[in-house]
Chains A and B, each alone.
Chain A
Amino acid sequence: MAVVSRDFQELRLDNVSRDFGQLHALRDVSLTVKRGEFVALLGPSGCGKSTALNCIAGLLQVTGGSIWLDDLRLDELGPEDRGFGMVFQNYALFPHMSVRRNVGFGLVTQRRPSAEIARRVDEALALVRLETQADKLPGQLSGGQQQRVAIARAIVVGPPLVLMDEPLSNLDAKLRLEMRAEMRRIHMTLGSATIYVTHDQEEALSLADRIVVMMDGQTRQIGTPEELYARPANADVADFMGYRNLFPSSAEAADGGVAVIVGGARLAGTAVGEVGARAMVAVRPDDMRLTGDGPIEATVEFAEYHGRDFYAVARMADGTELYFRSESRVVAGETVRLDAAPSRVLVYPA
């Protein structure tokens, strides 16, 4: 048995690729995860994030590149020998075993003495606050409780790395928020590294120390949540990170920044990368400001009430749609004037 020891400094993916026949699900992905780090793999469905996770877990073989835990080569080991914990999207709890036996599964596999198994299972159940449900079958638990059993089962063996595959996607909105906080708490208690796959940018932003944005099987940007949120590396990432307003535009240098044309109006922006004469302009709906003398004029098409504010869709003079948030009520048909701070108008090479 070559079960990986608990202490490690970093997990490293070197140009990892995975093909399914003609389909390149993963192309030259390189990534380093440090001990204790919480890394989110974020991307739209089909971007290869789950494939990447399964390659790290050993459930999928890589077709190129290598995976290392410090100086130990992992990609040639089976999933049994990697000693990681994994939480599956549908939890994959063993339906015929009680919660206690589910959680203890990995310890029984390691042939631990039964007293130790009982003690560690109790600890893990206490960590996920399920002490009272220990003797129930998974089918008798709610979705959130099943989720916590799955987490307890993954962490009870003290894995150096915990892998989570969209663990919150089957829960309702309220439970999702609760479990999000819970995950973060458990991660901090354990101090092991976590790799977390999600398509929900809000989840990634709130949980992760670092986010890896993936598209078409490739990593498109790796950065802290703040970097991803405020300064996406390219227009595709910006689109995914919630920059709903994306317009092609002409661009020209103007006093220290770059000037673009949005809806016929001239707007000062910040260049990201080498911007030529043609550019893509990206602005978050939250960064559009309603001002009486803003350069952009638009007619509101409809507005959604979001409790704290309104989310509105408007049409500019040249016919393109513009999305913005407003704290005051806006109504359909109303003409509004909008502006955005130059630092929040991101200009990418087209």
Chain B
Amino acid sequence: MSVARMSLRGRLREKGLDSVTLLVIPAVLFVLALFIYPFLYGLVLSFRPKAGGGWLANYAKFFSEPFLYETIQITLVIAVPVTLLNVVLSVPVALRVRLLRRQRLLTTILVIPITLGTVMVAEGLLTYLGPRGWLNRTLLEFGLVDSPVRLIHNYWGVMLSLVITGFPFTFLLTLSYVTGIDPALEQAGAVLGARARERFRRILLPLLAPGLAITLALAFVQAFTVFPSAILLGAPAGPTRVISIIAYQAAFEQYDYPLASAIAMLMAAVQLVIIMLLLGARTLVFRGPASSGKG
């Protein structure tokens, strides 16, 4: 008889599997039914072009028509600056907010745009930024401009609405990473003679970097899949013809589901490439806990 033979149950428990583990089954089924299956279905569908031709005909079509392939660039030109701007704004705000006592009030105010939803924010911006909106009327009244500034139905309208709806999201994520850093580390830096800028560069930023990579990835995905505000606030036929618009058009205006699927797959591929790059960069920096000691 072997000396320390554990029961099957005991061995499973060693690996973190017990009866509670069964509770993940509904979630697994849910993901399989509503994510994995549609994804695979779409993938297969994209290789069955409606108009015939080879199994790659949809992809060939996408990359041969500027009207289609230019959308990748158009969407990146919107999504990348928006993502960077949101994250770059979030860091200093989060660093400041972490010191506030009434953090919860401010956080609540910042979260409101998330709860309103993109459509509501877009509607509000249409009125506010329009040629007869408050902003332009104020600018005209004070003689700062001669004619109304065009901020809607173009690139800037989409950009602004994505900043408004995306910032609270990146801010909350960044705040959680910032508050995870032991304040004693900054104090130690200060006592050792490092001023605020140097403390940020040598202590805070390296410790924040892994979290910022995740934040960038999530914020990018959010911005890259922009749809309602690109239509409502942008110029969906021109400078803001983002990739999700042509996917929509293929599916519901031309009823070409295979082409729409192919576009969706390409969209996923672009996102995947960017996220891989970000997370790859993450492995280059320190990824341990942002505090010290055994406390």
- Residues of A at the B interface (CB closer than 8 Å) are 3, 57-59, 78-86, 88, 90-96, 105-106, 108-110, 137-139, 143, 146, 153, 157, 163, 170
Q: Does B239 contact A (CB under 8 A)?
A: no
Q: Are B192 and A153 in contact (CB under 8 A)?
A: yes
| Cβ–Cβ < 8 Å partners of B207 in chain A | 95-96
Q: How far is the CB of B225 from chain A (nearest CB, A)?
A: 33
Q: Does B288 contact A (CB under 8 A)?
A: yes
Within 8 A of A (CB), among B166-218: 182, 184-185, 187-195, 198, 202-203, 206-207
| Cβ–Cβ < 8 Å partners of A92 in chain B | 182, 184-185, 187-188, 292-293
A143 to B198, CA, bound (A): 28
A85 to B189, CA, bound (A): 11
Question: Taking CB as reference atom, which chain A residue is nearest B183?
Answer: A92
Q: Does B147 contact A (CB under 8 A)?
A: no
Given A93-B292, A139-B289 in contact, is the A59-B189 Cβ separation under 8 Å?
Answer: no
Interface size in chain B (residues, C-beta < 8 A): 27
A209 to B188, CA, bound (A): 26
Given A88-B184, A139-B289 in contact, is the A157-B294 Cβ separation under 8 Å?
Answer: no
Given A95-B286, A96-B206, A96-B207 in contact, is the A57-B191 Cβ separation under 8 Å?
Answer: yes
Q: Does B107 contact A (CB under 8 A)?
A: no
Question: Taking CB as reference atom, which chain B residue is nearest A143?
Answer: B294
Q: Contact partner of B194 among A59, A91, A105, CB < 8 A? A: A105
Q: How far is the CB of B186 from chain A (nearest CB, A)?
A: 9
Q: Are B292 and A91 in contact (CB under 8 A)?
A: yes
Q: Are B191 and A85 in contact (CB under 8 A)?
A: yes
Given A79-B187, A95-B291, A137-B288 in contact, is the A109-B182 Cβ separation under 8 Å?
Answer: no
| Cβ–Cβ < 8 Å partners of A157 in chain B | 192-193
Q: Does B266 contact A (CB under 8 A)?
A: no
Q: Are B292 and A109 in contact (CB under 8 A)?
A: no
A94 to B288, CA, bound (A): 11
Q: How far is the CB of A249 from chain B (nearest CB, A)?
A: 44
| Cβ–Cβ < 8 Å partners of A163 in chain B | 191
Given A96-B206, A96-B207 in contact, is the A109-B288 Cβ separation under 8 Å?
Answer: no
| Cβ–Cβ < 8 Å partners of A110 in chain B | 193
Interface centre among A86, A138, A163 (most CB of B within 10 A): A86
Write the B212-249 contact mask toward A (1 if CB under 8 angstroms, else 0): 00000000000000000000000000000000000000
Q: Are B288 and A59 in contact (CB under 8 A)?
A: no
Top 7 A-B residue pairs of the complex, sorted by shortest distance between their CB atoms: A96-B286, A90-B293, A106-B192, A92-B184, A92-B188, A109-B193, A79-B190
Q: Are B294 and A94 in contact (CB under 8 A)?
A: no
Given A143-B294, A146-B292 in contact, is the A80-B188 Cβ separation under 8 Å?
Answer: no
A194 to B286, CA, bound (A): 34
Q: Are A90 and B192 in contact (CB under 8 A)?
A: no
Q: Are B191 and A86 in contact (CB under 8 A)?
A: yes
| Cβ–Cβ < 8 Å partners of A143 in chain B | 293-294
Within 8 A of A (CB), among B268-295: 285-286, 288-295
| Cβ–Cβ < 8 Å partners of A59 in chain B | 187, 190-191
A254 to B203, CA, bound (A): 67
Q: How far is the CB of B287 from chain A (nearest CB, A)?
A: 9
Write the B153-175 contact mask toward A (1 if CB under 8 angstroms, else 0): 00000000000000000000000
| Cβ–Cβ < 8 Å partners of A108 in chain B | 202
Question: Taking CB as reference atom, which chain A residue is nearest B209?
Answer: A96
Question: Taking CB as reference atom, which chain A residue is nearest B292?
Answer: A93
Q: How far is the CB of B20 from chain A (nearest CB, A)?
A: 30
| Cβ–Cβ < 8 Å partners of A82 in chain B | 191
| Cβ–Cβ < 8 Å partners of B194 in chain A | 80, 105, 109
Interface centre among B182, B191, B194 (most CB of A within 10 A): B191
Q: Are A88 and B192 in contact (CB under 8 A)?
A: no
| Cβ–Cβ < 8 Å partners of B182 in chain A | 90, 92
Q: How far is the CB of B109 from chain A (nearest CB, A)?
A: 25
Contacts A/B (CB < 8 Å), 25 sampled: A58-B191, A59-B187, A59-B191, A79-B187, A85-B191, A90-B182, A90-B292, A92-B188, A92-B292, A92-B293, A93-B292, A94-B292, A95-B185, A95-B286, A95-B288, A96-B207, A105-B194, A106-B192, A109-B192, A109-B194, A109-B198, A138-B292, A143-B294, A146-B292, A153-B188
